[in-house]
Structure 1
Amino acid sequence: MTDSWDTIADWYAGLLRTGSAMHEFNRDVLLGLLPGELGGCRVLDLGCGEGIVARALAARGASVAGIDPSPRMIEHARAAAAGGPGTVTYAVDDGCVLSTVAAESVDWVTAGLSLNNVPDLDAALTAVRRVLTAQGELAFTIPHPCFEAPHASWTQITDRPVRRVVGDYLAEGFWRSDNPEGARRAGNQHRTLSTYLTALVRHGFALETVTEPSPSDQVAAAQPHRAGLPPFLAVRARRAA
């Protein structure tokens, strides 16, 4: 059977609920792009999965709408209570369409490790721009395109440190990981760094922040070979006039 986000949803939710240093680091990196206080803000969490980011946004006071194309993921998200002072609602929706979200209705769109899953980046950015208020902002993280290219691997030669072996970085498109314990066995869209950044500009976004965060102490402890490389690219962009 070919895996999908629906078929791995139970495994994925269990992984995050029992503690995943990488996913917790991603959540914290994404939250670092946003204000510490979000009271009165309306936030759309695109590709919310089991709700790890949506719950954290509500804890900062935001009114959050989480959407994901996987019904099973949304079931897991709804089953996890979100502490206030904000609120969270969830809906099954396509990130390339956002049919459940009204035009100019949210102040922020967050996308934690999800834009790399949408099949049509241009359609997704068109939808995001539509639902953002004037001067609204998009904050997202993706697996770092340079180091998480399709079928990248690790190698060690004699007594030298473990090194990353990068695959065909310029070959964009859909691929599946052969790691039976990896989320990307459900599929992933590889795009170059320049594809993401130029698409934002083309769709009327002004770049505000682009960061390549070093792994947290927790990530480095769990996966020491990652200590010298940024696992994610993090971007914040404002809807331009």
Structure 2
Amino acid sequence: MTETWNTIADWYAERLRTGSALHEFSRDILLGCLPDELSGQRVLDLGCGEGIITRALATRSARVLGIDPSPRMIEHARAVEENLPTGARYAVDDGCTLATVATDSVDWVTAGLSINNVPDLDAALATARRVLVPGGRLIFTIPHPCFEAPHAFWTDAARGRPRRVVGDYHAEGFWRSGNPQGVRRAGNQHRMLSTYLTALVAHGFLIEAAAEPTPDAQVTAEQPQRADLPPFFVVRAGSRK
């Protein structure tokens, strides 16, 4: 079977429930780009998965809606919400169209490790800009494309600390990891950093901040080979409507 996000949803939700330092780090660096208090602010969490970021936004008093194209992921998110209510809401929707979200209806769009999964970056950015109010902001994280390119790999640990060997960085497009325990076995859209940044500007966003955070102690304890290597790229951009 060719895996999809729907078919790996049960595995993915269990992985996050039992603790994934890398996903928690991605959540925290995205949240670090938002105010600590979001009372009354309307937030759309794009590609929310099982809701790891959506729930965190709700605890900051945001009025947050998480959307994901995978019905099974949304089932997991709703199940967590039912057991531990935060006020977060969820819907099945496509991030390239956002048919369930009105124009000029949200103050923030967040996208944690999800924009790298959409097949049409231009459509996703145009739609995000449509639903944002004038002056609204988009914040997203992606796996760092320099180190998570197709055919990237780790060197042999026997030769010292493993190092990341850069793959086919310029080979943009869909690719699927062969790692049976990796999330990218469900597929991923590889794009260069310049592609993301140029697309943001083309769609009327003003880039306010960009960062390549060093992994925290929890990540390096779980995956020592990642020490001093940024696993993610994070961007905050404002809508110039």
Q: Percent identity?
A: 70
CA distance in 2, matches of 1:211, 1:161: 25
In the alignment, which residue of structure 1 is the partner of 2:4? 4
In the alignment, which residue of structure 2 is the partner of 1:174? 174
In the alignment, which residue of structure 1 is the partner of 2:146? 146
CA distance in 2, matches of 1:177, 1:139: 26
In the alignment, which residue of structure 2 is the partner of 1:220? 220
- Alpha-carbon RMSD across the aligned residues, in angstroms, is 1.0
In the alignment, which residue of structure 2 is the partner of 1:210? 210
In structure 2, the residue corresponding to 1:230 is in which secondary structure? coil
Matches within 5 A, 1:1-241: 1-81=1-81, 82-84=84-86, 87-156=87-156, 159-241=159-241
CA distance in 1, matches of 2:197, 2:126: 14
CA distance in 1, matches of 2:40, 2:95: 24
| Residue 156 of structure 1: how far off its partner (Å) | 3.1
CA distance in 1, matches of 2:85, 2:227: 33
CA distance in 2, matches of 1:157, 1:77: 38
In structure 2, the residue corresponding to 1:77 is in which secondary structure? helix
CA distance in 1, matches of 2:155, 2:146: 17
Task: State the one-letter code of the partner of 1:163.
Answer: R
Aligned length: 239
Task: State the one-letter code of the partner of 1:12.
Answer: Y
In structure 2, the residue corresponding to 1:13 is in which secondary structure? helix
| Residue 157 of structure 1: how far off its partner (Å) | 7.2
CA distance in 2, matches of 1:152, 1:55: 33
Q: Any conservation in 2 of the 1:26–1:141 contact (CA below 8 Å)?
A: yes
* Structure 1 residue runs without a partner (length 5+): none
| Residue 159 of structure 1: how far off its partner (Å) | 3.9
| Residue 97 of structure 1: how far off its partner (Å) | 0.3
Runs of 4+ in 1 over 2 A off after TM superposition: 81-84, 156-161
Task: State the one-letter code of the partner of 1:41.
Answer: Q
In structure 2, the residue corresponding to 1:196 is in which secondary structure? helix
| Residue 88 of structure 1: how far off its partner (Å) | 1.1
Q: Any conservation in 2 of the 1:113–1:143 contact (CA below 8 Å)?
A: yes
Q: Any conservation in 2 of the 1:6–1:72 contact (CA below 8 Å)?
A: yes
For 1:188-221, what per-residue CA distance to the aligned partner results, in whole angstroms no more than 9, with x for missing partners?
A: 0000000000000000000001000000100001
| Residue 158 of structure 1: how far off its partner (Å) | 5.6
For 1:13-60, what per-residue CA distance to the aligned partner results, in whole angstroms no more than 9, with x for missing partners?
A: 000011000000000011001111000100000000000000000000
For 1:76-100, what per-residue CA distance to the aligned partner results, in whole angstroms no more than 9, with x for missing partners?
A: 000002544xx21111000000000
CA distance in 1, matches of 2:134, 2:157: 53
